Amino acid sequence: MTVNPDNLVLLFTTTCGASGELLGSDEKETVQLVWQVLNLITKKPGPVNEVLVKPEGGCMSEECVEVTGISAEALISAAPLDEALSQFNERLCSEINTSAGNSFCLCTDGQLHLRQVLHPEASSKNVLLPECFFSFFDLRKEFNKCYPPEADRKDLDLQSMADYLNLSVDSSDHAFTALKVLQMSSIAQALISEPVCHTFSCPEKVNEKFETGTCSKMERIDDNTVIRARGLPWQSSDQDVARFFRGLNIAKGGAALCLNAQGRRNGEALVRFENEEHRDLALQRHKHHMGSRYIEVYKATGEDFLKIAGGTSNEVANFLSRENQVIVRMRGLPFTATAEQVLQFFSPSCPVTDGSEGILFVRFPDGRPTGDAFVLFSCEEHAENALKKHKEILGKRYIELFRSTAAEVQQVLNKYSSAPLIAVAPAPILPVVPQPTFVPSTIAAVVGTRDCLRLRGLPYDASVQDILLFLGEYTADIRPHGVHMVLNQQGRPSGDAFIQMRSAERAYLAAHRCHKRSMKERYVEVFPCSAQEMNIVLMGGSLSRSGLSPPPCKLRRLSPASYTFPPGGSVLPAGAVLPTGAVLPVDTAALYPSQFLLNPRPLAPAAFYPANSQMYMNYAAYYPSPPGSPPNMGYYHTSHTPSAGSVLSHPPTAMIRMQSHTSAHAYASGVKEILSMVQGYQPSNSDALVTLPSLLSAKQPIGDQSLGGGAYLDLQLL
């Protein structure tokens, strides 16, 4: 960067769109470059020069044609932008004679000509700008250095500065753009002449490359320097964001891509600029295009930026302390993967920076791997070779590779390092989730008591007996009917189970002792949880590190299982006269189900279900398997053992009726076929199955079909 140049090149650009303070805000292409060289030593200006630029698409606006006087026919023979810039550079160097050691620096009327016009357009067309376009003087700022501004600098223009200095230029012999350049030249001459004798030094710099870096959560960031960009392509990187804002100086590490709850990019980014002026220029690029997508640009705060890009981990800070490195994210790693395996995966075409020190594995707070890792590469070539290994195999898994950023590293590490093993349910969800019938109300009423266990990673063929053997000595602490196997949407084992324990202390000890024990060559994770968390999962919700989710209410077949039936009389009371003339005995009448069971009342939907949606019961989709209890346990505490001969002295039983429209079911189906229909429930004894014709043989002929075919089965509750 030239500090004290010998020559000042006064440059003015014109686009085929808006002009003045809106120059460059409409993404229109450059059509004209006009300049004049002012020798700062002799204080003599040179001739006015012009180069026309042929736009690639679109025509000139009426405003542009009226102001500049350039016709569409004149642009047909003009050169495209890259050739026009080459002509500009050659003619300028020839006029100044840079080969003799003469130096020069550009000077423009404000920031727009370079930052909002030439740099963005050259970036979108992949045109390499000459080095002279990366430093320049802002004539308005130089004027303010010499004269205290009577108004805000943003209100300054060439005419107001010329009027303040009592300068006039004959506009009759010059076109619009040439007149602007002559006004700039006369103002610059007045500044360098007596009595001002201003020296043009310390020009502004346009960053050529975005610099990555880290940001601490303790850092204070000005709210007036941050914007939020929305609508980015999901595969865009921080370099792509910096390219979109080319011409504006982004702070070191100031481009942070946002991630969603699943750790994937959501199309948003927070960008921090060096000062408020560049932030305001960035807001003028609202709905400018990145490829075929337009990008929305809004104001944001420093707090928003710190939430995304700020970090406190020393491990991450050390990992990102290596500057000018390309970061690649690995996803889907085997949980047993080591740094040596990752190095072998990338070698030899793409060596990792500093070997194993250039690999950062992402882990949960308890040290378990998440399957993600970040890898550093020293150059773009090595990173491109690494990305070519996308979906190649490491161990027995294919690995996904993505270009990443320092802010993404911070977000992913912050997310997993602060994630609880089992999240607490949000307050609005718990009151509206109905209580399943199989969970005792005394347990569900204890809010926040972690007296249950969650088993994760069970073999799919694991049974209740396998779980009891797995828990060992803690089997005696399981409540009656306290083993719940969780099924998936297809009614198959999901690998999860919930255990209801007698106390939170025993649940904690069981989780501590049994965590990561092996069951059939698989290690099983054991966590304490509350009855509310168990209820939500067994009702079809999800329980993960990102929090609790209610049941999938959008599926019409799902509804809460919370039927409660009031006691009712028999359909046929004792002593009723049958169509055959027989009188129904008392014992027979007791076998018939209540009218409430035959016609259950409709279930009122919970708050999170649409009021007008029809509910369907389908327990197999989300309901747990029949709860089991340890076979070596009594059903009641020893202090409450029922007396002999009482109703409770025998295990509780329940009777069900199996009814068909004809008697074919009762006669054609054997005991084995009927028992297979209630597999998982234990009949009370070998005589539990009673067919209806045999029951009524004394009172009704077998051939009579007035009562229909059916069977009764006495089941023992487990």
DSSP labels for 17-77? S--GGGTTTT-PPEEEEEEEEEETTT--EEEEEEEEB--SSS---HHHHHHH---HHHHHT
- Whose CA is closest to 187, among 172, 202, 168, 203? 168
Reported pTM: 0.57
The rounded percent of the chain whose pLDDT value lies above 90 is 38
| 539 or 572, higher pLDDT | 539
Note the residue count of the chain.
718
Report pLDDT digits (tens) over 111-129.
999 999 999 999 999 999 9
Q: 322: burial class by Cβ within 10 Å (0-12, 13-18, 19+)?
A: middle
Contact 441, 435 (CB under 8 A): yes
- Give the up-direction half-sphere exposure of residue 607: CA atoms within 13 A in the CB hemisphere: 6
Task: Give Cβ neighbours of residue 545 (< 8 Å, ≥ 6 apart).
Answer: 364, 416, 419, 420, 421, 422, 423
| Whole-angstrom distance, CA of residue 616 vs CA of residue 560 | 9
Contact 2, 135 (CB under 8 A): yes
Work out the number of other CB atoms within 10 angstroms of the CB of residue 424: 13
DSSP labels for 192-219? HSTTT-----S-EE--SSPPP--EETT-
> Hey, which of 15-24, 152-161, 223-232, 402-411 has the most confident mean pLDDT?
223-232
Per-residue model confidence (pLDDT) at position 332? 92
Rounded to 10 deg, the angle between the 176-192 and 139-146 helix axes is: 30
- At 619 the three-state DSSP class reads helix
Q: In the structure, what pLDDT confidence band is assigned to residue 310 with cuts at 50, 70 and 90? A: confident
Task: Give Cβ neighbours of residue 249 (< 8 Å, ≥ 6 apart).
Answer: 205, 206, 207, 273, 274, 275, 278
Q: What value does the mean pLDDT take over residues 485-514?
A: 88
Tell whether the model's pLDDT for residue 631 goes beyond 60.
no
Amino acid making up residue 406: A
Work out the number of other CB atoms within 10 angstroms of the CB of residue 369: 16
H or E stretch including 435?
none
> Hey, which of 60-69, 326-335, 566-575, 659-668 has the most confident mean pLDDT?
326-335
- Angle among Cα 634, 636, 639 to the nearest 5 degrees reads 115
| Whole-angstrom distance, CA of residue 564 vs CA of residue 437 | 8
| Whole-angstrom distance, CA of residue 85 vs CA of residue 126 | 13
- Whose CA is closest to 560, among 620, 627, 605? 605
Rounded to 10 deg, the angle between the 464-471 and 504-514 helix axes is: 90
Contact 184, 10 (CB under 8 A): yes
Report pLDDT digits (tens) over 174-219.
678 889 999 999 999 999 998 889 999 889 999 988 888 878 888 8
Region of residue 126 (phi > 0: left; psi between -120 and 50: alpha; otherwise: beta): left
Q: Which single residue is written with the structure tokens 């030249």? A: 185
> Hey, which of 80-84, 152-156, 260-264, 658-662 has the most confident mean pLDDT?
80-84
Tell whether the model's pLDDT for residue 674 goes beyond 70.
no
Q: What value does the mean pLDDT take over residues 689-715?
A: 45
Tell whether the model's pLDDT for residue 298 goes beyond 80.
yes
Give the N- to C-terminal CA distance of the chain in Å, as an integer.
Answer: 85
Provide the β-strand partners of residue 524: 517
| Whole-angstrom distance, CA of residue 227 vs CA of residue 283 | 8
H or E stretch including 130?
none
Q: Which two tokens stand for residue 6?
A: 């010998």
Q: What value does the mean pLDDT take over residues 530-539?
A: 81
Tell whether the torsion through CA atoms of 344, 347, 350 and 353 is positive or negative: positive
Per-residue model confidence (pLDDT) at position 605? 42
Q: In the structure, what pLDDT confidence band is assigned to residue 70 with cuts at 50, 70 and 90? A: confident
| 582 or 188, higher pLDDT | 188
- Give the up-direction half-sphere exposure of residue 330: CA atoms within 13 A in the CB hemisphere: 35
Q: Which two tokens stand for residue 103?
A: 């130096």
Cis peptide, bond prior to residue 459, ω within 30 of zero: no
Tell whether the model's pLDDT for residue 555 goes beyond 70.
no
- What's phi and psi for 485, nearest 5 deg? -90, 125
Task: Give Cβ neighbours of residue 702 (< 8 Å, ≥ 6 apart).
Answer: 693
| Whole-angstrom distance, CA of residue 143 vs CA of residue 153 | 9
Amino acid making up residue 712: Y
Q: In the structure, what pLDDT confidence band is assigned to residue 58 with cuts at 50, 70 and 90? A: low
Work out the number of other CB atoms within 10 angstroms of the CB of residue 15: 29
Tell whether the torsion through CA atoms of 186, 192, 198 and 203 is positive or negative: positive
Tell whether the model's pLDDT for residue 568 goes beyond 90.
no
- At 617 the three-state DSSP class reads coil
Tell whether the model's pLDDT for residue 594 goes beyond 70.
no
- At 375 the three-state DSSP class reads strand
Tell whether the model's pLDDT for residue 29 goes beyond 70.
yes
Q: What value does the mean pLDDT take over residues 400-418?
A: 84
Q: Which two tokens stand for residue 365?
A: 């707070």
Per-residue model confidence (pLDDT) at position 304? 92
| Whole-angstrom distance, CA of residue 586 vs CA of residue 570 | 10
| 650 or 706, higher pLDDT | 650
For β-strands 104-108 and 7-15, DSSP reports them as parallel
Q: In the structure, what pLDDT confidence band is assigned to residue 700 with cuts at 50, 70 and 90? A: very low
| Whole-angstrom distance, CA of residue 216 vs CA of residue 110 | 34
DSSP labels for 257-300? EEE-TTSSEEEEEEEEESSHHHHHHHHTTTTEEETTEEEEEEE-
Could you tell me the maximum CA-CA distance found in the chain, to the nearest angstrom?
132
